[in-house]
A and B are shown apart, each in its own frame.
Chain A
C-alpha cells in the first residue's frame, strides 16, 4: 500500500470510528415552505391590524402597484427556494438565477410607478421622514427573517456560501418589502423607490458578507 493510500485508509478508519446516525435533511421545497409560512403568518397578523380596504384600493388603482407586490412576493418565495437548493453541496449554481425574473418585474413595476403622472386617490407622496421610516422598517424586518433563514440553511452543507447567502439576503429583503405594503399608504415616487432600493441593497450586502459566519464552514474539520 502506497503512502497516500495509507493516509486515505487512516482517514477512512477515523471517519468510520466517528460515524453517528444522522437525520436526513427534508427536501428544499418543504423547508422553503416553512419559511414562507412564517412570512405568511406575519402578513396575516399585519393584515388584521391594518385597513385592508384601503390597501386593496391602493393596490388595484394602478397595475404597477399590484405588479410590484406580486414581483416582491415571488422574488421572496423563489429566492428562499433557491437558497435551500444552494445549501445542498451538489446543486447547480444556476439556482441563483431563479429569483431574477420576478426581481426584474418588481424593479420594473416600481420604476413604472415613479413615471406615472396621475396620483392614486387617497394617497400622498411620502415625505423624507416617511422614506427614512420605510428604510428602517425594511432593514428591521429583514434582520429576524434573514436570521431565521440562515439558521435553517445552516442545517445544509453548502459549497457555494456566497451564492447561498446572496439569495438568502434577497429573499429576506423582498419579504420585508412585501410586508412593508401593510404600513405604506403612499403613492410611488422616485425618492421612495431609492429609499427602498438602498434598504434592499443594504440587507442583501449584509447577509451576503455576514451570513457566512452562521453557515457551517466550507473548509473541512471532521465532525461526528
Chain B
C-alpha cells in the first residue's frame, strides 16, 4: 500500500499534519480532510477494483489476492456488529457472498464500499440468526444429564468392549501380511501408499491381503459365540 503525502511538500507549517496523518486537524482549522488516508484509500480501492474486474474475467491469481485483501476489511466492518468470537463466521459468510454475487459488482463504483455494505449486512444477518437461535434454545445442562434415554441399553458398553476384544484376538491369529494390512489400513486408517512404504508390500498386494483378512475375520467372528 503506497501512502502519498500531499502535505509533506507544504513546508514546516504543515509538518504536524504530515506526521499525524490529519487526525489532529488541518493547519487552517478545517476538519475531515485527512489527505494521506484518502489518497491511499483511493489507490487501494482502485487496485481492489482492478483485481475484481480481473476476477470477473476468470483470473484466479487476481481473485485469490483480492479475497486475501478482503479479509481484514471484512473483519473491521464485522467487528462493529458482531462479538469477537463471531467475526470469523462473518468473514466466511462474506467471502461466500462475494463469490456468489461477484457478477453484480460494477467496476465504475467503489469496491471497498460494495464490500463494506455486504459485510455489514451479513454481520447483521448472522447476529439475527444468533439471537433467534438463542430465543429457541435453553441452556440447561442439568436437565440434559437427568433426561432418561429410553432406548439406552445398559449392556451395550460391555458388549462393545467384548466385541473389540474378540476382533483384536482374531486379528492376532491372522498371517503376518494380512495382519499388517488390517492394522495399518483399517485400525490406523493409513493410506495404501503409506502402508506400502511401511511394510514394503506393493499396494496391489496390500489390497489382496486386506480383502482376504476381512473375509477370514468375518467368518471367525460369525462362528464364535458372543
- The answer to whether A4 touches B88, judged by C-beta atoms less than 8 angstroms apart, is yes
Q: What total of chain A residues lie within 8 Å of the partner, measured CB to CB? A: 33
Given A12-B68, A12-B95, A15-B67, are A159 and B104 also a contact pair (CB < 8 Å)? no
Contact check, B64 vs A16: say whether CB atoms are below 8 A apart: yes
Q: Which residue from B64, B103, B109 sits with its C-beta under 8 Å from A22?
A: B103
User: By the criterion CB–CB under 8 Å, are B63 and A15 in contact?
Assistant: yes
B contact patch SS: helix
Residues of A with C-beta under 8 A to B109: 90
**Of A97-105, A142-150, A216-224, which stretch is located at the interface?**
A216-224
State how many angstroms separate the Cβ of B151 from the closest Cβ of chain A: 34
Contact status A88-B104, CB under 8 Å: yes
Report how many residues on chain B are interfacial, defined by Cβ distance under 8 Å.
Answer: 34
Interface pair A90/B117, CB less than 8 Å apart = yes
A216 to B163, CA, bound (A): 50
Let me know if A16 and B60 touch, CB within 8 A. yes
| Contact assessment for B99 and A89 in the assembled complex, using a CB-CB cutoff below 8 Å | no
Do A23 and B117 touch (CB < 8 A)? no
Q: Is the CB of A220 within 8 A of B121?
A: no
8 Å CB interface, B12-38 against A: none
B125 and A21: CB pair below 8 A? no
CB distance from B196 to the nearest CB of A (A): 28
Do most interface residues of chain A lie in helix, strand or loop, or is the interface mixed? loop
A21 to B60, CA, bound (A): 10
State the CA gap A109–B13 with chains docked (Å): 64
Which chain A residues lie closer than 8 Å to B118 at the CB level?
Answer: 89-90, 159
Of the candidates A7, A11, A88, A220, which one forms a contact with B100 in the assembled complex, judged by CB atoms under 8 Å apart? Answer: A220
Shortest distance in angstroms between A196's beta carbon and chain B's nearest beta carbon? 35
CA of A90 to CA of B122, assembled, Å:
11
Please tell me if A53 contacts chain B, counting CB pairs below 8 Å: no
Any B CB within 8 A of the CB of A25: yes
* Per-residue interface assignment for chain A, residues 80 to 96, with 1 indicating a CB less than 8 Å from any chain B CB and 0 otherwise: 00000000111000000
- What is the CA–CA distance of A22 and B98 in the complex, to the nearest angstrom? 13
Taken together as a complex, chains A and B put the C-alpha atoms of A67 and B156 apart, in Å, by 80
Interface string of A4-24 (1 = CB under 8 A from B): 100110011101111111111
The answer to whether A7 touches B92, judged by C-beta atoms less than 8 angstroms apart, is yes
Shortest B4–chain A CB gap in Å is 27
Residue A156 is within 8 A (CB to CB) of chain B in the complex:
yes
**CB-contacts of B56-75 with A (<8 A):** 56-58, 60, 63-64, 67-68, 71
Given A16-B60, A90-B114, A90-B118, A222 and B104 contact (CB-CB distance below 8 Å): no
Residues of A within 8 A of B67 (CB): 12, 15-16
* Chain A residue at smallest Cβ distance from B116: A90
Given A21-B56, A27-B106, A157-B104: A16 in contact with B63 (beta carbons within 8 A): yes
Could you say which residues of chain A place their CB within 8 Å of the CB of B103? 22-25, 155, 157
C-alpha gap A216/B96 in the complex (Å): 14
Asked if B88 and A24 sit within 8 Å, CB to CB, the answer is no
Contact status A19-B97, CB under 8 Å: no
Residue ID in chain B nearest A217 by CB atoms: B100
B95 adjacent to A11 (CB under 8 Å) = yes
- Give 1 or 0 for each of A103-144: 1 = CB within 8 Å of chain B CB: 000000000000000000000000000000000000000000
Write the residues of chain B forming the contact surface with A, with a CB cutoff of 8 angstroms.
55-58, 60, 63-64, 67-68, 71, 88, 91-93, 95-97, 99-107, 109, 113-114, 117-118, 121-122, 125
